[in-house]
Homo-oligomer: A and B are copies of this chain.
Amino acid sequence: MTRAPQKRTMQTRAKLLDAAADLISVNGYTALRVEEVVLKAGVAKGTFFAHFADKDQLMNQLIGAEMDRILDHIVAGPVPKDADSIAEALLPLAEFMTCERYVLDIILRYSVVPEIEQIEPIARNFGRQIEILMNWCSTSDTSFRKDIDAGLLAEGVHAFLLQAMALKFCALHCELGLRERLRQYLRAWLAPVAA
């Protein structure tokens, strides 16, 4: 017979998340150590792994939550009507996702869902991103290409977003900044002049 989870569980989990968030706000994501987290939270190491499968899952929660906050802010704003506006709207999200190389690595690793059952925060956020992009791409008063459907259009925007972010860490071809590169990509993808 299974029993309902105790409220102690959520408290401990919250203590761990809070401790981790505090430490990250000081030293960043890359420098976080599980040891520090449990010390600050006042629990044993084993407890950490009773709440999170591994360190990456904690990161998944924290990074995913931050991405959700940023995305909430983005959808609260006006719907962008052209390529440059979409680039501009996505910029805060892109900036966060590339705030540390380690953060982008985690995001890339957990943006896909290996198992149908449980969708983790980052993967869920990616799903939201695609949906929002689809909405933007399918509003009628845009001048976007009509030869492909909104789903494909959205996937393309996303592919270029990732490409632009990856190149932010590249010492080669770094003449362009993230914003300008993303604009260039999205113009070419969303409103081609055609052959």
Contacts and interface: CB of A to CB of B under 8 A. Distances in A.
For the complex of A and B, list the 3 residue pairs with the smallest distance between their C-beta atoms, beginning with the closest. Answer: A194-B194, A147-B193, A159-B163
A169 B114 contact: yes
12 contacts: A105-B108, A108-B166, A113-B172, A114-B170, A143-B195, A146-B195, A155-B185, A159-B159, A159-B163, A162-B163, A193-B194, A194-B194
A152 interface: yes
Given A108-B166, A185-B156, A145 B193 contact: yes
Interface in A144-176: 144-148, 152, 155-156, 158-160, 162-163, 166-167, 169-172
A105 B106 CA distance: 10
Contact of A194 (B119, B152, B192): B192
A194 B145 contact: yes
A156 B152 contact: no
A144 B185 CA distance: 16
Contact of A191 (B115, B119, B152, B195): B195
Interface string A125-151: 001000000000000000111111000
Contacts of A172: 113, 116, 119, 127
Contacts of A146: 195
A64 to B, nearest CB: 16
